[in-house]
A and B are shown apart, each in its own frame.
Chain A
Amino acid sequence: MLDFAKGPILAIQEFFILAGQAVRNVFRRPHYGADIALQMDTIGFGSLPIVILTGFFSGAVMALQMSRALAQYGQVGRTGTVVSITLVRELGPVLTALMVAGRNASGMASEIGSMKVTEQIDAMRALGTDPIQKLVTPRMIATAVVLPLLTIIADFTGMFGGFIVAYYLLNLTPAQYWHTVWTALEWNDVSQGLLKPFVFSFAISLVGCYYGLQTTGGTQGVGRATTQAVVVASVLVFVLTFFITKIFVGNVVS
């Protein structure tokens, strides 16, 4: 019974040790600026097309779906409000994080995992570099910087997608749509919409790196690590968004 629990608990402990070391390294030399820039480029710029596409269509589909519900109350004119709030509070952060988890948590796990199974991680340590400082910390910093930015882009393209639907299919005027979009947002919405991607970024990068560093068993092991990283990172995004939302909604109600 206890043996059954030992594996997962040990894994969680190792994950937090890795997270602690990665965060501590932010304040320690040497810093690998070039690696951070490279990671920002792959994670940030590389994810742009997919983030824009998912953002656009999630906004568009929200406008379509909600217009159906709002029509029951004769409130189709408030489509912008619904699109804006759902995007900024929930859909933008979560969908962007899921896309980045799929793209980059897997990329990190497979890249670091391949290095692990070919002993390049050991070689790094033997040749005077800390793999956490050189590999994990730059990925963590880069994700923490670019994920909120990607989320903002997804939010805006989503609002634009909603606008296309509202204007062409629901026959709303641009002024009406953008006015409702703009007035719907409060600081509470914007702050949780930006806090979420920042928190998700650590889950995505650290889970990806953790599974990469834990890889054993050749190419098959790399495949397994990659899958696990994506699954765990994605599930964590949903769990975290629940708890963050709980904190913010709790504030508003009380």
Chain B
Amino acid sequence: MNGDETILRFEGVTVEFAGVPALKRVSFSVPKGETRVLFGEAGSGKTVALKTALGLIRPVEGEVYLFGREITRLSEEELFDLRSQVGMLFQEGALFDSLTIEENVAYPLINQKSIHAPPEEVARRVREALSFVELEHTLEKYPSELSGGMRRRVAIARAVVTEPPLVLYDSPTAGLDPITSTTICALIMKNRDLRHTTTLLVTHRYQNGNLLANYRYDEASGKLVPATPDRPAPRTIFLGFRGGELVFEGTQTEMEASSDPYVGKFVKHNG
């Protein structure tokens, strides 16, 4: 594997909160353009892994390479530049509730020093990002005026408005009904397949991972279509977390064939 092409790499990463380990010597790497699906029970370290990848949490041990740079010892200032190339969707969206939808989506364009877009461009790109998630009519509204699914879509718009090459999604479908969650997955895949972004997705639902691994977004029809050998979906690897440890890493086929009951639980319960 070409080292330059690795977008994100964890090497023996241990994270502790007040002495309690949240990640234990986790190592994995994500080559450019590939998809990773992170699964595991609540509190198993999936969210912590995403936040560590962004440098929001500093590990006590190990190294994190983001776009080839070791980030665990970078200052917050230096991290801002790297973070501008990463989109992050937080659990529950984490929209700023005192700002309108327009201001929320414009936030990274205005505040990220390395982007710092001029006002006309901000307005255009915000509109573009909102029409990407089919919510261009909500500009003046506040997050509290939207439904849960709509808020999640706005959060996706905010995460991808800067067109980052790497996007991290933390439980984008948690708490949504199956139909809405398929819509959210379709948006994630639309962004992945149109812009060829590297994607990390934390999820509790096996169907989401299944969708990401076996379908792709078809630009002509605007729908999800099954991947075919000549037009495959990006390589998708499943990462299983348990109590802060990485206990499984493999393809969907390997996951379904796994004899580990912990891994099996996630396949069967949702399958």
A positions within 8 Å CB-CB of B: 115, 118-120, 122-130
Give the residue name and chain of the B residue nearest to A129 (CB): B111
Q: Are the CB atoms of A126 and B83 closer together than 8 Å?
A: yes
**Are B76 and A119 in contact, CB atoms less than 8 angstroms apart?**
no
Does B94 belong to the interface (CB within 8 Å)? Answer: yes
- Given A122-B51, A122-B56, does the pair A128, B92 have CB atoms closer than 8 Å? no
The verdict on B141 contacting chain A, using a C-beta distance below 8 Å, is no
Is B94 touching A123 in the complex (CB atoms < 8 A)? yes
Contact of A119 among B91, B107, B113 (CB under 8 A): B91
Give the complex CA separation of A128 and B54 in angstroms.
11
Contact check: which of B80, B90, B96 meets A128 at CB < 8 Å?
B80
A38 to chain B: closest residue by CB: B98
How many angstroms from the CA of A125 to the CA of B52 in the assembled complex? 13
List CB contacts (< 8 Å) of B54-104 with chain A.
Answer: 54, 56, 76, 80, 83-84, 86, 88, 90-92, 94-97
Instruction: Indicate if the CB atoms of B96 and A123 lie closer than 8 Å.
Output: yes
**Which residue in A118, A128, A130 is a CB contact (below 8 Å) of B94?**
A118
Q: State whether the Cβ of B112 lies closer than 8 Å to any Cβ in chain A.
A: yes
How extensive is the interface on chain B, given as a class? 20 to 34
B108 within 8 A of A: yes
- In the A-B complex, the 3 residue pairs with the smallest Cβ-Cβ separation, listed nearest first, are A128-B112, A119-B94, A123-B94
Cα of A127 to Cα of B86 in the assembled complex, Å: 9
Given contacts A127-B83, A128-B84, 10 further A-B contacts (CB under 8 A): A120-B95, A120-B97, A125-B56, A125-B76, A126-B54, A126-B90, A127-B111, A128-B80, A128-B108, A128-B112
Residues on B with C-beta less than 8 A from A125 are 56, 76, 83
Chain B residues within 8 Å of A122, by CB:
51, 56, 90, 94
Expressed in whole angstroms, the minimum distance between the Cβ of A135 and any Cβ of chain B is 11
User: Which residues of chain B have C-beta atoms less than 8 A from A115's C-beta?
Assistant: 96
- In the complex, which residue of chain B has the Cβ closest to the Cβ of A114? B97
Least CB distance, B116 to chain A, in whole angstroms: 9
* Alpha-carbon separation in the docked complex, A115 to B92 (Å): 12
Known A-B contacts A125-B56, A126-B56, A128-B84; A120 and B111 likewise in contact (beta carbons under 8 Å): no
Q: Are A128 and B51 in contact (CB under 8 A)?
A: no
Would you list 13 pairs from A and B whose C-beta atoms are within 8 A, ordered by A residue?
A115-B96, A120-B95, A122-B90, A122-B94, A123-B95, A123-B96, A126-B56, A127-B107, A127-B111, A128-B108, A128-B111, A129-B111, A130-B76
Using CB atoms, name the residue of chain B closest to A10: B18
Min C-beta distance of A118 to chain B, whole Å = 6
Complex CA gap A56/B107 in Å reads: 45
Contact A119 B83 (CB under 8 A): no
Contacts of B158 in A (CB 8 A): 127
Cβ–Cβ < 8 Å partners of A127 in chain B: 83, 107-108, 111-112, 158
Complex alpha-carbon distance, A125 and B86, angstroms: 12
Please measure, in the bound complex, the distance between the C-alpha atom of A124 and the C-alpha atom of B91, giving whole angstroms: 14
- Contact residues in A for B54 (Cβ distance below 8 Å): 126
A120 touches B113 (CB 8 A): no
